Structure formats: structure tokens, C-alpha cells
Amino acid sequence: MIDIRLVREQPDLVKAALGRRGVDPSDIDELSALDERHRELLARQERLRARVKSLSREVGMARRGGDGARAAALAAESRAVGEEERAAAEETDRVAGELRGRLLVTPNIPADDAPDGASEAENVERSRWWPGQEEGRPEPVPEAHQRVPHFDVATELGILDMARGARMSGSMFPLYRADGARLLRALTSFALERHRDAYEEIRPPTMVLTETLTSTGHLPKFADEAYHIERDDLWAIPTAEVPLTSMYRGEILEEADLPLRLTAMTQCFRREAGAAGRDTRGLLRVHEFEKVELYAFTTPAQASDAFADIVERAEDLLRALGLPYRVLDLCTGDLGLSAARTFDLEVYAPGVDRWLEVSSVSWVRDYQARRASIRYRPAAGGPPQLVHTLNGSALAWSRIWAALVEWGRQPDGTVRLPDALAPWLGDPPVLTAR
RNA sequence: GGAGGGAUGGCAGAGCGGACAAAUGCGCGGCUCUUGAAAAGCCGUGGGGCUCCGGCCCCCGUGGGUUCGAAUCCCACUCCCUCCGCCA
């Protein structure tokens, strides 16, 4: 959530900032009006409440003083005021609920340096990398044997079985086999080991409460994108960001403990309701995939370093895997609801001839911390402050798997993988037919 | 799934209808004493909202209810602990 006080005190600033991402200024006016109405109602309710409390105290004193008649009269008056208060509270709650509902779907204020733009077409490419770039070699041109889509390579080798995955779960639920499954396992170990120096490894639950999914901003607005188990009212997580944010929900951290950095590999579940019919072949878009996430709770001052660190770690993995990639600075029109700034990392996959998003690193400022009430006690004293949260994938495996298989395909049809995976897949690491 | 116990501030733990944001201890911060430290003593120390800056209101797991008045009584739910059952 954005801070309602900012809306109250500097509505023009909020309108300008959110206008950059396409929010109608009248939405902000409505927020202001609801807020003002809410405060009026609250003040009225609290005056009544204070009256009830002071009358009740007098009842007690009168009774102890033996003045039964006076006590009865005061009690009657208090009861009347109490009824008035109950009615007032009902209206206050109604307006408060409406205000909260609006705030929950109001997007975050974009960072000043996030590029302006209306859609993904206006994202800005910040950098590009390919193997050998440091030695001055040109961008690689894929060979003919690398121009085979991963789903065909995988069928040849028997390492991915989408048809049988669909048999048990429906389409877009991949089933990896043999070396394909081993590759996935190797990637997770490879990444988690590399993050071990600074990030605590977590294995969180992957089914969460409604409140947990609301804290990150996925609810209420994007309920259609998530799987929901109705009987137990639990949601399948779309990313480890969701449980990790709630790890410290409602807590006050010590500044000395910040930045607090976590990493987690989890299954990620996405209904992809808005993309039905798109990218239905292979691994470009699936309902379930594995991803290693990096996460940080920081003070505001630590946030930009933490952001840079997550981006650097995602890039480091891609370089170690030898995959050509580019870094996109998302324009205001393409930012997710909670994000103030986001860098997407995309790898080029020669078989499908597409850039694939394999990481999205976001600085959320205090937007999720306010929803989740996660604060820190400043070392210098003073009241608790909201933390900043940052998250990023490093990395999402299904698309990495596809890119590795396409780039690594050799003329004989086997797949040569980067040496970085040798500890898990043999030296040299090669995927062969099942 | 069954039986029982529990949920209070950073932690431990009292409070069981009336000035309770809540004893006490620990922890933490400041001060005194001391060459310094320790010990001792004194003082302070939860969060949130609104405010005409005087204050006022809310928060004792969550949500309802009873009452003039609820941390305290009633109901429901959640979570934790112990035992039994079942189970990867």
C-alpha cells in the first residue's frame, strides 16, 4: 500500500507520480475524499467512546460511594451514548473498509529514475552480455544445429514429456525425465551454493493463507492468476517472494539485523489466466515451475545496494551458464502493482528465436512492508520505521532449461552444458538420450 | 480425528468485572559511585491512529456477544503444547 498520509498531504505529488503509470487522477481524489470522510467519522465515534468511558468510571465511583440512584442514572445515560456510538462505529467501519479496499489495488509510487512509458514496448535496455564479450568477440550467431526448439530437442533425448505431464495435470504442467530432471536438480544446487555466502537458505511452505498473498499485493487484484484450494482456503504461491515476505509479517526487526537476506527454491504456480492460448508449446509458459528467489529486508538507505546485489547475482549466474542476456529497465507502464523499480533479465534462446524473461528484480520500497507491517527499530533511537523489501529471481529454471538445451545442442543431437554444472552432471556435462 | 492445557510488552510472568498499557523479574538505555570495568543504587524503557497540540481513541491470539464498564464473563475460530489414534 502507499501511505495514505502522502495522499492527504501531497495529493498533487501522488497524482503526478501515479499518473506516470497510467492511474487516473480522479482515483486519487476519491481516495482523499474517503480518507477525509473516514477521519470525520472516526473523530465522532471516538468522542462518543470517550464519553461512555468517563460515564462508566463515574458509575463505579457513585456505586462505591453508596449513591445507587446516581449510579443508575449515569448508567442509563452511558447506555444511550453507547448505542449512539455503536451506530457511529458501523458507519466508520464501512468507510474504512472501502478506503482499504481502494488502497489495496492502488499501485506503488514508481522510482524517480524508472523510465516513463505506457507499455513493455518502452522498456529500456540497460546492458547486454554474451560469452566472450570481454575478449572483444561479437554476439554469437547460432549454428543450424542450435536452431531447434527445446521441445524438439527434449523429445529427441526423452528428457521432457509434456504429453504425459498433461495426462496427469492438464496442459502446461511439465514432466521432466532422466537427464532433464537431473539438470533441474543441478541448477538449484548450483544457484543456492553460489548465494550461500550472504543469503540464508529457506525452504518455505508453498501453500499460504489469504493474508499472506495479500501482503505482497497479489490479492485482491490478481486472484484469477493464482490457484486456490477452496476447501481449506489456501493459495498456491506464484513465487517464493510471497512466503518470504510473510516470514517477518507483524514483526519489528533490529536495525543491526538489516539487511536481512534470504534465498529459497520453491515450486511456483501460475494460472496464466490472462495469457490463455499464448506460448502453449514447451516451457516458455507453464503452470508450475521451479525458481530460486533472492530476497532482502533493508533500511531505506540500504535498498539500492541490495537491489544492485540481487541484479548482480542473477547476472553472475547467467554468465556462469554462458547464456547471452540483456537487462531491461521496466518503464512505468510495465511495472507490477507493488514495484517502484524493476529490472528484467532476458536470455536469448536460439531454437525458439526469442528473448525469455528469466529474472525480475524489484525494489518494492515500503509498499509490501506497510501491508505486512514489517518494521525495524532504528539504531539511533526513535519510533519503528517500515523496512524496504526487494526480491528477484536467480533464476527461474524452466526457461533457463530451455535456453541451455537449445544453446548446448551439438551436431550429434546431444546437449553440452556449461562447465559450471560439472559437479552435478559429470565432467564434461552432457545430456544424452534416455 | 479424540482428550486435556495454553496464547498478556524484547523475554519470563502476574492480573480472573471498575483509574490496567497492565505488577514483578530479566533485558535494554541514561545517570550516580569508580582511575576504568564490574557490582550496587536511582531514573527511564510497547505499538498504532486521530488531534482544535490541551489531549482523545484503539491494541492483552482473531472475530462476535453480555455489561453503564471486559485483559478479566460467554460463544466461535486460529495457533501452540501434552497424551492417544492415524500417517510420508
A60 and A145 in one domain? no
Number of other CB atoms surrounding residue A293 within 10 Å: 29
What's the CA–C1' distance between A379 and B9, in Å?
A: 20
Give the pLDDT confidence score for residue A337 in this predicted structure: 95
A88 and A156 in one domain? no
Whichever domain contains A215, its CATH number is 3.30.930.10
Give the pLDDT confidence score for residue A417 in this predicted structure: 97
Instruction: Determine, yes or no, domain membership for A115.
Output: no
Domain count for chain A: 2
A148 and A274 in one domain? yes
Going through A90-206 in order, the beta strands assigned E by DSSP cover 124-129, 200-202
Q: Answer whether A116's CB lies under 8 Å from A20's CB.
A: yes
Number of other CB atoms surrounding residue A304 within 10 Å: 15
Single out the residue in A105, A131, A152 at which a domain terminates.
Answer: A105
Give the pLDDT confidence score for residue A277 in this predicted structure: 72
A185 and A252 in one domain? yes
What's the CA–C1' distance between A379 and B44, in Å?
A: 18
Instruction: Determine, yes or no, domain membership for A113.
Output: no
Per-residue exposure over A331-359, b if at least 16 CB sit within 10 Å of its own CB, e if not: bbbbbbbbbbbbbbbbbbbbbbebbbebb
Give the pLDDT confidence score for residue A359 in this predicted structure: 97
A65 and A202 in one domain? no
A180 and A92 in one domain? no
Q: Which nucleotide is nearest to A82 (CA to C1')?
A: B68
A313 and A379 in one domain? yes
pLDDT tens digits, chain A, 434 residues: what are they? 899 999 999 999 999 999 999 999 999 999 999 999 999 998 899 889 989 999 998 898 888 888 888 999 999 999 999 999 988 888 898 898 899 989 999 999 999 999 999 999 999 999 999 999 999 999 999 999 999 999 999 999 999 999 999 999 999 999 999 999 999 999 999 999 999 999 999 999 899 888 899 999 998 899 999 998 887 888 999 999 999 999 888 888 888 888 999 999 999 999 998 777 778 789 999 999 999 999 999 999 999 999 999 999 999 999 999 999 999 999 999 999 999 999 999 999 999 999 999 999 999 999 999 998 888 888 877 788 899 999 999 999 999 999 999 999 999 999 999 999 999 999 999 999 98
What was the ipTM of the complex prediction? 0.84
Which nucleotides on strand B sit less than 7 A from a protein beta carbon? 10, 18-19, 47-52, 56-58, 68-69
Give the pLDDT confidence score for residue A78 in this predicted structure: 92
What's the CA–C1' distance between A368 and B11, in Å?
A: 28
What's the CA–C1' distance between A231 and B82, in Å?
A: 29
Query: Which cell numbers in the block locate residue A44?
Result: 465522532
Which residue matches cell numbers 524489484? A362
Give the pLDDT confidence score for residue A274 in this predicted structure: 77
Determine the Cα–Cα distance for residues A376 and A388; give it in Å rounded to an integer. Answer: 10
Number of other CB atoms surrounding residue A32 within 10 Å: 16
Domain hosting residue A278, numbered range: 120-431
Determine the Cα–Cα distance for residues A192 and A203; give it in Å rounded to an integer. Answer: 11
CA A368 vs CA A76, A248, A301, A388: distances in Å: 46, 12, 17, 8
A132 and A59 in one domain? no
Q: Which nucleotide is nearest to A63 (CA to C1')?
A: B18
What's the CA–C1' distance between A90 and B76, in Å?
A: 21
A419: phi then psi, degrees, rounded to nearest 5: -60, -25
A296: phi then psi, degrees, rounded to nearest 5: -140, 135
Whichever domain contains A80, its CATH number is 1.10.287.40
Strand partners, A91: none
- Give the residue with minimal CA–C1' separation from B50: A43
Instruction: Determine, yes or no, domain membership for A111.
Output: no
CA A335 vs CA A28, A119, A212, A224, A243: distances in Å: 19, 9, 21, 19, 21
Query: Which cell numbers in the block locate residue A243?
Result: 512466503
Q: Which nucleotide is nearest to A80 (CA to C1')?
A: B68
Give the pLDDT confidence score for residue A399 in this predicted structure: 97
